[in-house]
Amino acid sequence: MQAPEQVEPEALADYLEVMSKAVFQSGMSWKVVESKWPGLREAFREFDPETLTALTEPELDELSQDTRGIRNRRKIEAIIGNARQMLELESTHGSFRSYLRSHDDFESTVKDLRKQFKFLGEMGCYYFLHVVGEEVPSHEEWMASRK
């Protein structure tokens, strides 16, 4: 697997999309997630946090039955909760990027991300931070620190 392509987040939806990909990849083949991503983007309303947090229970039921996506209700609910948390952190810090950069170092950022967001493990945090262009240690250095 090659290194994931980095993005320059322009809106909160960009951060939520990258984080959601990490959530869906947890415990699954990245190839499966990648192949379903166009349908997931559409089903999840382009990952717009305000839209997702306003979904009704019947709409969540529809989302968990949508064959374009990955129908894991716990992950779907986690993504909705993560959207809500992103909105709150953005409001508190002025921007989500400011929240990410409010920590002293990579390790404290990862620790707080894992506390604030659901279905986001160490690898998911590393992936997320790398893809959104935050400073991370080299993959080799990071892997060596985890052994």
* Domain presence at residue 6: no
Report the 10 Å Cβ neighbour count for 103. Answer: 15
CATH number at residue 133: 1.10.340.30
Answer whether residue 7 shows pLDDT above 90.
yes
Question: Which pLDDT belongs to residue 147?
Answer: 76
Predicted confidence (pLDDT) per residue in 89-100, tens digit: 999 999 999 999
Question: Which pLDDT belongs to residue 116?
Answer: 98
* Domain presence at residue 1: no
Answer whether residue 1 shows pLDDT above 70.
no
Following DSSP, what letter does each residue of 73-133 receive, concatenated? HHHHHHHHHHHHHHHHHHHHHSSHHHHHTTSSSHHHHHHHHHHHSTT--HHHHHHHHHHTT
* Domain presence at residue 94: yes
Q: Which residue reads 């894992």 in tokens?
A: 114
Greater confidence, 67 or 108?
108
Domain count, the chain: 1
Q: Which domain holds residue 89?
A: 12-145
Cβ-Cβ contacts under 8 Å for 92 (sequence gap 6 or more): 99
